[in-house]
Amino acid sequence: YFLKYNIWFTAVALITAEAQNTLEYLEVGAKLILQPKPFSGPIKSITWRFNDNIVGVLDEGQSLRYSTAFRDRASVDTTTGVLEISNMTKTDSGLYKVTINNKIQDGGYDVGVIKQVPKPELKITPSTCSNESKSCLLSCDGDITEAGPVTFYFYFQKGDGVWKEREENITIMNDNDTQAVGNFSCRMKNPFGQKDSGLVNNPFYVPPKPVPIPPTVGIVLGVLAGLGVIGGVGGGVYYTKNKSKNDRPSASPNYNANDSDGRPLNGMHSDSKEDP
Ligand SMILES: *[C@@H]1O[C@H](CO)[C@@H](O)[C@H](O)[C@H]1NC(C)=O
Ligand SMILES: *[C@@H]1O[C@H](CO)[C@@H](O)[C@H](O)[C@H]1NC(C)=O
Ligand SMILES: *[C@@H]1O[C@H](CO)[C@@H](O)[C@H](O)[C@H]1NC(C)=O
Ligand SMILES: *[C@@H]1O[C@H](CO)[C@@H](O)[C@H](O)[C@H]1NC(C)=O
Ligand SMILES: *[C@@H]1O[C@H](CO)[C@@H](O)[C@H](O)[C@H]1NC(C)=O
């Protein structure tokens, strides 16, 4: 789906001959620097072209000339052959080629000039979308006409929700899965970075009902409670043996907490022997 590309985070993009067959992205406003492949002899003539239009040309024995479109922004070094164009705009996207001493250098430089992605807005449609709807549409919205290749991601806030790459518009069904999602968010990403929308409430969200304690958990808790009581009694006996008989082992919170639920105490008594 994606072409191979390089990106330039700096305000200046130097593209050398080695990178020629790669689509190079630079940001709107940056300076482009294109460096030719090695050539022999001093430059007698040179022509830089952009999509088959002339950027700058030096004909043998004449002075350097630029096309009106590039006159204020471009410069060609007649010793090195390097072309510089400042303040790149979207319309400067395309193929640059150079001819030196009447030899055209093959390949060329494929350049894309793009903006950062905007902060997207997550929209839910139709506007009547509610918990009564069967399905609705989520759109990751924003002006991306100059943002180059953009990928979209959605985030469903549910447990450890993760970002997933999706289409720009996705349908959500009012089913158990979606009902467990609290909020949605979406993300736009291009070669220069990414931005996220805010969290948007899921109209299908159903808050979880309080879960009754399953019987097995109850038994485990009962066993633990029994051990706690026995521990408390054992500790209490040890304590009274080594201290005054009038002292009560009421300091043990375990003992007090489990005293009212004395049921497992007898049943668990034999186990207390394994208790160190
Ligand atoms: C860059 O180009 C934009 C739009 O063409 C223009 O408004 C701006 O003044 C230019 N900036 C420079 C430094 O040339
Ligand atoms: C939708 O939500 C309203 C109020 O929030 C509630 O009264 C109604 O029962 C819900 N309907 C469904 C189908 O869940
Ligand atoms: C996504 O939906 C919006 C309207 O919500 C529409 O304008 C846009 O064309 C859709 N995009 C795609 C790729 O279907
Ligand atoms: C969805 O929930 C309903 C009732 O809450 C249940 O009957 C149904 O089996 C659930 N479906 C799935 C796929 O979990
Ligand atoms: C949705 O996000 C808001 C804002 O962060 C948060 O206050 C709310 O608790 C979230 N709702 C759910 C159901 O998670």
What is the per-residue pLDDT for 16?
Answer: 66
Q: Is 265 exposed, middle or buried (0-12, 13-18, 19+ CB in 10 A)?
A: middle
Q: Which atom of ligand 5 is nearest to the CA of 201?
A: 1
Regarding beta strands 121-125 and 109-114, do their DSSP bridges make them parallel or antiparallel, or are they unpaired?
unpaired
- How many residues would you count in the chain? 276
Query: Which residue of 130, 131, 206 sits with most ligand 2 atoms within 8 Å of its CB, as the best mutation to test the pocket?
Result: 131
CA 130 to ligand 5 center in whole angstroms:
17
Atom 3 of ligand 5, residue of closest alpha carbon:
199
Q: Which pLDDT score is estimated for 128?
A: 96
Residue 192 confidence (pLDDT): 85
Distance from Cα 90 to the centre of ligand 1, integer Å: 12
Stretches where the chain sits below pLDDT 50 are 1-4, 9-10, 230-276
Q: What is the pLDDT of residue 266?
A: 37
Tokens standing for 117? 């992605």
Q: What pLDDT sits at residue 19?
A: 59
CA 122 / ligand 2 centre spacing (Å): 23
Q: Given this model, what pLDDT does residue 52 score?
A: 85
Q: Please identify which residue in the block is written with the tokens 């991306």.
A: 144
Amino acid 217: pLDDT? 61
- pLDDT for position 5: 55
Q: What is the DSSP string of the chain?
A: -PPPEEEE-SSEEEE-GGGTTSEEEEETTPEEEE-PPP-SS--S-EEEEETTEEEEEE-TTS--EE-TTTTTTEEE-TTT--EEE-S--GGG-EEEEEEETTEEPSS-EEEEEEPPPPPPEEEEESTT--TT-SEEEEEEE---TTS-S-EEEEEE-SSS--EEEE-SEEEEE-SHHHHT--EEEEEEEETTEEEE---EE-TT--PPPPPPPPHHHHHHHHHHHHHHHHHHHHHHHHHHHHS-TT--GGG-HHHHHHHS--HHHHHTTGGGGG--
Cβ pair 26, 96 in contact under 8 A? no
